[in-house]
Amino acid sequence: MSDQVAPGSAGAAGLASGGGLAPEAGPAVVIGSPRLEIRDIRKTFEGKRPVEALGGVSMTLAANEFVSLAGTSGCGKSTLLAIVAGLADPTSGDVLVDGRAIDGPGRDRGVVFQTYTLFPWLTARENVAFALRGEKMSAQDRRRVADEHLALVGLTGFADARPRQLSGGMKQRVAIARALCYKPSILLMDEPFGALDAQTRLLMQELLTRVWESHRLTVLFVTHDVEEAVYLSDRVFVMTNRPGRLKDEVRIDLPRPRTIALQEDPEFLELRRRILASIREESLRVEPGMDMAERT
């Protein structure tokens, strides 16, 4: 899968020089076989003191590509994801899926949030099958598809369990199975493992990698965890502080399939260092005295 940046653009100049993309340029990354296109998305929250959350974000994701968004808290990552999901309206700009502009939520996009958003009175199977209620399927077929997707995430033995009987990691597996069961072409994930303990988070990262490698769909993933972003992704975009723009693009050319052992590889560590340094630059712009305080 090859990446192209329009020749002569500010983005091309930034990549050619090896530095980050100029925030004010709002670079658009163009890839062959586009599945998801984000075109100059801007978002301002109105009020007594309007807040400009996004200052012009453009990117293109190919079919079957895994892309992560990283950056400081409040940089607009989750706002952008909500706009792509159709759960929030941009102030300006467009989101296209397979060349068609979206105008709200759609079954072409599955969404997984940090909170589990399961119905507590339904079993794991019923929670997954609930997402199929709009399909022209018999109850038997909905049950079959739900069971297939619970098996995909390793929960065959817990189909009849209710959320209160499941661990945090299990609840998130159910949420992933539910998001995949109606076969969206795009999966949007907003800090899906952020509430999990460190060991469970590692297990969920391995699970997601296996599921993605077998299911093959386009993923846009929001995370604060740089190691997670490098481990999972084909590309990682670092966003600037508010208003959020694309600052840097990092390609992750590590071999697949991946295992957690990869996180000790020198190339992995160098990619992690580069992304952390880019995010740190943004942190120091918010707290300019931090760097001096660390030296004393």
Domains of the chain: 64-81+184-295 (3.40.50.300)
The answer to whether 90 touches 96, Cβ cutoff 8 Å, is: no
Q: How far apart are alpha carbons 20 and 142 in whole angstroms?
A: 47
Length of the chain: 296
Q: How far apart are alpha carbons 42 and 61 in whole angstroms?
A: 18
| pLDDT at residue 114 in the model | 85
Instruction: Please list the helix, strand and coil fractions of the chain in percent, rounded to the nearest 5, in that order.
Output: 40, 25, 40
Among 149, 166, 169, residue whose Cα is nearest residue 158: 166
From first to last of its 296 residues, the chain has per-residue pLDDT tens of: 333 333 333 333 333 333 333 333 344 444 456 899 999 999 999 988 999 999 999 999 999 999 999 999 889 999 999 999 999 999 999 999 999 999 999 999 999 998 878 999 999 999 999 999 888 899 999 999 999 999 999 999 999 999 999 999 999 999 999 999 999 999 999 999 988 988 999 999 999 998 888 878 999 999 999 999 999 999 999 999 989 999 999 999 999 888 888 989 999 999 999 999 999 998 887 665 545 444 43
pTM of the model as a whole:
0.84
Q: Which residues pair with 190 in a beta bridge?
A: 222
Quickly count: other Cβ atoms within 10 Å of residue 87's Cβ.
Answer: 13
